[in-house]
Amino acid sequence: MFADRAKIFIRSGKGGDGHVSFRRELYVPNGGPDGGDGGRGGDVIFEVDEGLNTLQDYRHRKKFAAKDGESGQKRRCHGSDAEDIILKVPEGTVIKDADSDKVIADMSGDNRRQIVLKGGRGGLGNQHFATATMQIPKYAQPGQPAQELWVKLELKVIADVGLIGFPNVGKSTLLSRVTNAQPKIANYHFTTLNPNLGVVDMEDAKGFVIADIPGLIEGASLGVGLGHEFLRHIERTKMMIHVVDAAGSEGRDPVDDIYKINQELEAYNPEIAARPQVIAANKIDMIYEQDDENPVDRLKKVFEPKGIRVFPISGVTGKGLKELLYYVAEQLKGLSQETVVFEQEYFPENELIYLELPYTVEKEDGIYVVEGPKIEKMLGYTNLDSEKGFAFFQKFLKDTGILSELEAAGIQEGDTVKMYGLQFDYYK
C-alpha cells in the first residue's frame, strides 16, 4: 500500500561531559586544571530528497538516534563532536509532534533542510572554573542532555489542481490522457489507492501539476473507509476539478454526487471546500438520446448560477478536454503561486526544556524541598564553596525554572531550601 504516513521516535545526541584533570609533569607536581571540554551531540535533521515519493523507509524502522558527543580529556583535549543524523523524506512531508498533533516542520517550498532536534552542548572542563581563590576546581560541567520525541510524518502531495469525485467516475483515465502519468486504470468499484501526480503541458499557456486524489466516499471526513488518508492530499491544491459520471453508468445521480463530496470537504476543512472548483461532466460518449433532460444541461442549470463552470468531456475520446484545461490554466493565473506551507506550531527547543530536567518542589514543615535525578547529579559535581561554583549553581536554578517554581510556591526571603542534604537560605 502507498506509504504516506509513519510514526517514528527520534533522539538527538547528548553533549559530552567536561573532564576533571590536572597537569602532572616532571618538576610540576601540583599543576593547574587541564580538563578538556566535551563534544557536541549530533542533531536530528530532516532533508528533502527529490528521488523519494513515499515514506516507505519509515514503515519498518521506527527509531532513529544521533550519536552522543565525546567526553573531554586531560591536557585540555576537546571531545569530538558527534555526527548529525540526516533523515531523507519526499517533498511535501509534514512533521508533527505525535502527542499534540502540532506541526514541527513542513518540508515544502523553500524548506529543504531543517534541524528538528538539536544535539546537547558539550560540558566545560575544569580548566574553565579556576579562580584566584579556587585554583584546583574538582568539578566540570556535564554535557547538555539529549532531546527525544515521537513524531508523525505525513506526506501531503504538492499539486496545483486536485481531481476529486466518487470512485469509478474516470479520474485516472482523465489524468492519463492529459499528463504523462500512468495510473492503473480499470472498472474498479472501489478506488485507486495511490494519489497519482502528472504535469499538464500547455502549448501557449503555463502548465500545471495535477493530482488524482483517490476516490472519496460518504463519511470520508469522519474517517470512513480511507477518508482521512485521502483527504490530506487535497490540502495543498489551489483549485479542484470535480469529476462526475454524467452518463450515470453506475446508476448514480451526478448532481447528488457533487453535493455529497462537497459536504465531505466542508466537514473536513471548510477552507478547502471554499477553494475554486470546476465540474468535469465525464463519460459524455455514453450519453444516448433520451426523453429526459440532458444530464449535462441539468448540471449546468444547477451549478453554473453558483459560479461553478461545467465542461462536458470524455476521458476516453478526449472530447472537451482542451477547453477544460485552458479554463483551469486561466483560473490558476489569478490564484496565489506560492506552495501551501503549514506554519510551525511546535518548537522542540522550547517544549522539551522541562523534559530535560524533571524535578519536584514541595513544602515540608516550613522547608522547601527540591528533588530530581538531574539535580542530584548536578550537586555531585558542583563545588558550592567556591564563588564561581555557587554562581554556576544559581544560574542552574534560574535557567531550569526552579527559582520561578519556588516563587510560585510562595517562598519568601529568609526561607530555607533543601536539596539532597544541602540547606541554604533564600534571598533575591
Query: What pLDDT is stored for residue 40 in this prediction?
Result: 93
Summarize pLDDT for 81-112 with one digit per residue, the tens: 999 999 999 888 899 998 888 899 989 888 89
Rg of the Cα atoms in the chain: 31
Summarize pLDDT for 217-233 with one digit per residue, the tens: 555 444 444 445 567 77
Q: Which three cell numbers stand for residue 217?
A: 466516499
Query: What pLDDT is stored for residue 235 in this prediction?
Result: 79
- 280 forms beta bridges with 243, 311
Give residue for cell 500545471: 208
- 63 forms beta bridges with 9
Residue 311 contacts residue 319 (beta carbons within 8 Å)? no
| Rounded mean pLDDT, 289-304 | 80
| Least trusted range by pLDDT, from 134-138, 145-149, 225-229 | 225-229
Give kind and range of the element (H or E) at residue 299.
helix 295-303
Query: What pLDDT is stored for residue 355 in this prediction?
Result: 44
Q: Is 360 helix (H, G, I), strand (E, B) or coil?
A: strand
* % of the chain surpassing 90 pLDDT: 18
Strand pairing report for 367-371 and 239-245: unpaired
Query: What pLDDT is stored for residue 352 in this prediction?
Result: 63
**CA pair distance 37, 380, nearest whole angstrom:** 18
Which DSSP string corresponds to 81-137?
PPPPEEEEE-TTEEEEETTT--EEEEE-TT--EEEEEPPPPPPPPGGGG--SS-SS-
What is the 8-class DSSP label of residue 241? E
Nearest to 119 by CA among 265, 11, 249: 11
Angle among Cα 301, 305, 308 to the nearest 5 degrees reads: 95
**CA pair distance 232, 382, nearest whole angstrom:** 52
Alpha carbon 377 to its chain's center: 34
| Least trusted range by pLDDT, from 46-60, 89-103, 343-357 | 343-357
Q: Which three cell numbers stand for residue 66?
A: 544521533
Q: Which three cell numbers stand for residue 271?
A: 477552507
Nearest to 19 by CA among 148, 163, 122, 131: 122
**CA pair distance 178, 170, nearest whole angstrom:** 13
CB atoms within 10 A of CB 44: 28
Summarize pLDDT for 372-412 with one digit per residue, the tens: 656 665 665 566 666 666 777 777 777 777 888 888 888 88
**CA pair distance 211, 214, nearest whole angstrom:** 9
- Total residue count of the chain as it appears in this document: 428
Residue 334 contacts residue 238 (beta carbons within 8 Å)? no
Residue 218 contacts residue 261 (beta carbons within 8 Å)? no
pLDDT bucket at 27, cuts 50 / 70 / 90? low
Phi, psi dihedral angles at 229 (to 5 degrees) = -60, -35
- 369 forms beta bridges with 362, 418
- The answer on pLDDT for 176 being more than 60 is yes
Query: What pLDDT is stored for residue 43 in this prediction?
Result: 95
